[in-house]
Structures are given as structure tokens and as C-alpha cells.
């Protein structure tokens, strides 16, 4: 299915606790479709007592359902079935995801749903592969570590890739034998509920995977602070991440994984191979999901001798985008999540232009036949390190351009005072590429590519204020375990 009628999609709202929907009384939030701004449903705002009910359910299920104690291969088998059900549910999940988020339905079919399923499958495979270790002690002792689940993991997800971000949290947590209470973003709350239904169908015991709905201030904060939450895993903005880290410290020194914001550079040398391909890469790194991607390559740093033709080629590609609703197959520029966010993007662009920068293209809302907010892919030149568009995470399709003549200059421009999420370097010179891999202060460096590959083995996570810990890879699995040290005296 590449096009669908948004009014024909049935949406089930509510919390999902203890294996069933719970339609709580109390305040609710309207939920709008980003594509046309129409309010299509509402979600309850879970208060402290609702969150406590969910966490108690998860805690009891963790202790009594057998999830944590069953043979790990059996847990893996259930999770593989969960992954199969997600993949087989694309006809429901993909339109549901596209309806309420910025994800075009074509992409939701081709990537979001299969990638979500594969993320669960990847972590299922860890369930019986990673345990503890026997330590090389003296002959008088046997020393070892035993890997144990933590208990109940509180997971908080953002709106930009609702299904995929949820799977990166729940996959490793469940495979390691934990129970999970997930709070999706209040702007994209519904696809997570479908995941919870499928988990039950797959055989995940009731209460092991729960979804609570609500905003960050009320529901998210109550979840983070609940005393029975053993670990918090969060993806979202740097500011919220800091608040969550403080709350974790004050409510039980809980371990926390934080995947936060970025302002990632793409550095292009004049010797970069296949320059047409480089131009396409640069464009796609800032226009995918309309730039609403944590690792968006938002700062082009290009060697002066090729800057003009390269930037003009990227501008040509930018001018070819067609904005449109996520349910239209022809549109290739996604909506911005909300009009408020589109206003914020424009305010940063206009402030940068007021400071003396120039826009080569874009710098305005896109016009469509939809009432939603869309923003034209934008190139801003003649900026400085202090320009708002260079400093701030914009979370929109806005690319700044800075030029250099030496490696040192390129490195100095690439450094950001706060963020260190990802970086790309494009060059045919192997030595230079490796010098940059070493010198760039970023959690991920891509060489002659930009963006993750479709496997899960390479962990992702930021340096500095871009985060703590890793999603994906073996690292995310291990971060959902505790390791108990055991020392046995072998003397009679």
C-alpha cells in the first residue's frame, strides 16, 4: 500500500497495562496529524497513580511471570515470534505510523516496520549468548560474574521515529529478561500500543511490556522517579535528558542511557570520490524525515575549491523536493511535526539571515494542498560559528555551509561546543580519513558515507551533551543487565 485514506484508519487509544487496554478517566491531550494538522484522537495523561499502577504490574510480572527465569532460548523464541508478528503486521502498522507521525507511508513500509521487527529479532538472538564470565583467579578460588536482568526498565521515546526508537529500547531490555514500561511521545502515541498487542500475541507474559501515555512533565517524570524502576533508557532532547538524569540521581541513583541531540558536521574534501554521489548524500542526510533526525548532517564543511559547484548541486536537489502528506506516495518531503516546531525552524533561519547570512534556497515554509506545516529544504551560507543556525539543533531541513582550506581549519569548524553525536568525512585520502576519525569529537564517524547501515551491530550514542551510553550493538544489551560478582573459596 503506497497511498491511503487517513480517515479510514481506526486508532485505539489508552494505556496498555498488564496485558490489556486501560481507559483511564481524567485529563487528555489532543493528538494532531502532522500532515494536515487535523486532530484525530486524544490520549489520556497518566498521572502518578496511573504510572505507579503500571510499574507495580510490571514489577509483579517480572517477579512472577517467569519471564526473567525461563530458559533464555525460550525467551528468545517468544521474541522472534514477536518480531515475525511485527513484520507480518505491516499493512496495519505502516499506515498507523504514517498517519500520526512525519514518516511517509512508503518509508514506513520499506524501512520503519521491517527495521522495528529486525531490531527485536537482533536482540532476541542475544538472550542465550551473553552471560557472565569466569575470572582468572588463583587455584584456591573460583571467581565469576553472573549476568542478571535489572528488573523494570522505564523507557521514554521521542516522536521522530516512533516505532524504531521504541524497538531500540524494548528489544534489548526484554531480551535481557527485564519488564518494560514504555512512554511514547505524546505527539505519536499510538503505534506503540499496537506493538504491545503483538507482544501479547507472541507470548510475552501480560505485564512484561506496558505502555503508559501522557506528557513528559506528568507521566514521564513520574515514570523516571518511581522507586521500582531499576533503569531508565531515554531518547530525546538534550534538555530533557539532563532533567531525567537529575531525576534518576535523586530517586535511587538509577543507571540511565541517554540518546540526545546533535549538530553533526559533514566534511567534504576536494578529493572526495564520486562528487555527484557526495552531493546526494549531503542532501539526503539533512532532508530525510525533513531533517527531524538526531544524526542529521546539518553542517556542511567543504574545501573552498569545490564549494561553489557542490553547494549549487545540493541546492538543485533541494529545489526538486515535493512536500506532501505522509499518505501520498508521490511526496518526498515529510511534514514538520507541528506548526510550533516549523515556526521555531523559521525563527532560527531568519535570525541567522538577520545576522548577515544568505539563503541560497528555501528559508520559508513549503506550500502544499495540506494544512500541515512543511519547510523547504534550506541552504544558509556566510555563517559563523556563532550563527544561530550553526549553534542550535534545528531539527528541520536546514543546512549551513562553511568553507576551509586546511585540515586544521576543517577540524576547528567541525568541533561543536556542546554536541558530539555523529560526523561524516568524505575524502579519497586514507591517512586523512583516519586522522579525522581519531580527531573528531563524535560518538559515530562515517567515512565516505553518511548514516547508519541496516544492521544493528554498530552501537550508536553521543559524546558530550549528545548522550551517555549506547543504543544498538552488544552494548545496549549489556546495559540492560547487572553483573553480580561471585568468589568461591575452594578449600574444604
Give the residue numbers marked as catalytic. 183, 259, 294, 393
Asked if 163 interacts with ligand NAD (CB under 6 A), we say no
Site pattern 307..346 for ligand NAD (x: CB under 6 A): ----------------------------------------
- Measure the CA–CA gap between 142 and 284, rounded to whole angstroms: 54
Long-range contacts of 132-138 (CB under 8 A, 24+ apart): 132/483, 132/484, 137/487
- Helical pair 162-175 and 113-124, crossing angle rounded to 10 deg: 10
Asked if 220 interacts with ligand NAD (CB under 6 A), we say yes
- Measure the CA–CA gap between 338 and 428, rounded to whole angstroms: 41
Q: Looking at 42, 237, 429, 448, which residue binds ligand NAD (CB under 6 A)? A: 237
Asked if 243 interacts with ligand NAD (CB under 6 A), we say yes
In which element (H, E) is residue 297 found?
strand 297-303
Q: Looking at 15, 33, 103, 183, which residue binds ligand NAD (CB under 6 A)? A: 183
Closer residue to ligand NAD, CB minimum distance, 340 or 406: 340
SS3 429: coil
Q: How many residues bind ligand NAD (CB under 6 A)?
A: 33
Asked if 162 interacts with ligand NAD (CB under 6 A), we say no
Asked if 259 interacts with ligand NAD (CB under 6 A), we say yes
* Closest CB 201 distance from ligand NAD, rounded Å: 25
Q: Which residues contact 288 (CB under 8 A, 6 or more apart)?
A: 296, 451
Q: Looking at 294, 390, 442, 445, which residue binds ligand NAD (CB under 6 A)? A: 294
- Measure the CA–CA gap between 107 and 90, rounded to whole angstroms: 11
Site for ligand NAD in 415-474 (CB under 6 A): 421, 460, 462, 467, 471
Site pattern 61..90 for ligand NAD (x: CB under 6 A): ------------------------------
- Measure the CA–CA gap between 106 and 95, rounded to whole angstroms: 9
* Closest CB 213 distance from ligand NAD, rounded Å: 10
- Between the alpha carbon of residue 277 and those of residues 12, 32, 283, 416, 427, the distances in Å are 43, 37, 10, 26, 12
| DSSP H stretches of helix in 89-211 | 90-100, 105-107, 113-124, 162-175, 191-202
Closer residue to ligand NAD, CB minimum distance, 306 or 440: 440
- Measure the CA–CA gap between 400 and 414, rounded to whole angstroms: 12
Binding footprint of ligand NAD on the chain (CB under 6 A): 156-160, 165, 183, 185-186, 215-217, 220-221, 224, 235-237, 240, 243-244, 259-262, 294, 393, 395, 421, 460, 462, 467, 471
Amino acid at each position: 500500500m503506497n497511498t491511503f485514506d487517513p480517515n479510514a484508519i481506526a486508532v485505539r487509544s489508552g494505556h496498555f497495562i498488564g496485558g490489556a487496554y486501560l481507559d483511564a478517566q481524567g485529563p487528555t491531550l489532543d493528538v494532531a496529524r502532522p500532515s494536515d494538522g487535523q486532530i484525530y484522537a486524544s490520549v489520556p495523561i497518566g498521572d502518578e497513580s496511573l504510572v505507579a499502577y503500571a510499574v507495580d504490574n510490571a514489577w509483579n510480572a517480572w517477579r512472577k511471570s517467569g519471564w526473567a527465569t525461563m530458559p533464555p532460548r525460550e525467551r528468545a523464541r517468544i521474541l522472534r515470534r514477536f518480531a515475525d508478528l511485527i513484520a507480518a503486521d505491516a499493512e496495519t502498522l505502516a499506515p498507523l505510523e504514517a498517519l500520526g507521525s512525519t514518516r511517509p507511508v512508503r518509508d514506513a513500509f520499506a524501512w520503519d516496520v521491517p527495521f522495528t521487527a529486525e531490531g527485536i529479532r537482533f536482540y532476541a538472538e542475544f538472550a542465550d549468548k551473553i552471560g557472565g564470565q569466569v575470572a582468572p583467579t588463583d587455584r584456591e578460588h573460583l571467581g565469576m560474574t553472573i549476568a542478571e536482568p535489572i528488573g523494570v526498565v522505564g523507557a521514554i521515546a521521542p516522536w521522530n521515529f516512533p516505532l524504531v526508537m521504541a524497538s531500540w529500547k524494548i528489544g534489548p531490555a526484554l531480551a535481557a529478561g527485564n519488564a518494560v514500561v514504555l512512554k511514547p511521545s505524546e505527539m505519536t502515541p499510538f503505534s506503540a500500543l499496537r506493538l504491545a498487542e503483538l507482544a501479547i500475541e507472541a507470548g510475552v507474559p501480560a505485564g512484561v511490556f506496558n505502555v503508559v501515555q501522557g506528557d513528559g512533565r506528568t507521566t514521564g517524570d513520574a515514570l523516571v522517579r518511581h522507586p521500582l524502576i531499576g533503569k531508565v533508557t531515554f531518547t530525546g532532547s538534550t534538555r530533557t535528558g539532563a532533567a531525567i538524569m537529575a531525576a534518576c540521581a535523586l530517586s535511587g541513583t538509577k543507571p540511565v542511557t541517554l540518546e540526545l541531540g546533535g549538530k553533526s558536521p559533514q566534511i567534504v574534501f576536494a578529493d572526495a570520490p564520486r562528487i555527484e554521489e557526495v552531493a546526494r548524500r549531503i542532501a539526503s542526510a539533512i532532508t530525510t524525515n525533513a531533517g527531524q533526525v538526531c544524526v542529521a548532517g546539518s553542517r556542511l564543511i567543504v574545501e573552498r575549491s569545490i564549494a561553489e559547484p557542490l553547494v549549487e548541486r545540493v541546492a538543485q536537489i533541494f529545489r526538486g523536493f515535493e512536500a506532501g502528506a505522509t499518505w501520498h506516495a508521490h511526496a518526498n518531503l515529510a511534514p514538520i511535526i507541528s506548526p510550533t516546531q516549523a515556526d521555531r525552524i523559521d525563527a532560527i533561519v531568519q535570525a541567522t539571515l538577520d545576522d548577515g547570512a544568505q539563503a541560497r534556497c528555501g528559508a520559508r515554509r513549503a506550500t502544499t494542498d495540506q494544512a500541515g506545516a512543511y519547510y523547504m529544504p534550506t541552504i544558509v551560507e556566510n555563517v559563523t560559528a556563532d550563527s544561530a543556525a550553526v549553534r542550535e539543533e534545528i531539527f528541520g531541513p536546514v543546512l549551513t555551509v562553511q568553507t576551509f582550506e586546511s585540515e586544521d581549519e576543517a577540524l576547528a569548524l567541525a568541533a561543536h561546543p556542546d554536541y558530539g553525536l555523529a560526523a561524516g568525512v568524505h575524502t579519497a585520502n586514507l591517512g586523512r580519513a583516519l586522522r579525522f576519525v581519531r580527531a573528531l569529537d563524535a560518538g559515530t564517524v562515517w567515512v565516505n558515507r553518511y548514516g547508519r547501515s541496516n544492521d544493528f551491530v554498530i552501537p550508536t550514542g553521543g559524546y558530550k551533551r549528545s548522550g551517555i551510553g549506547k543504543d544498538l550493538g552488544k552494548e545496549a544489551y549489556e546495559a540492560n543487565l547487572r553483573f553480580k560478582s561471585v568468589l568461591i573459596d575452594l578449600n574444604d
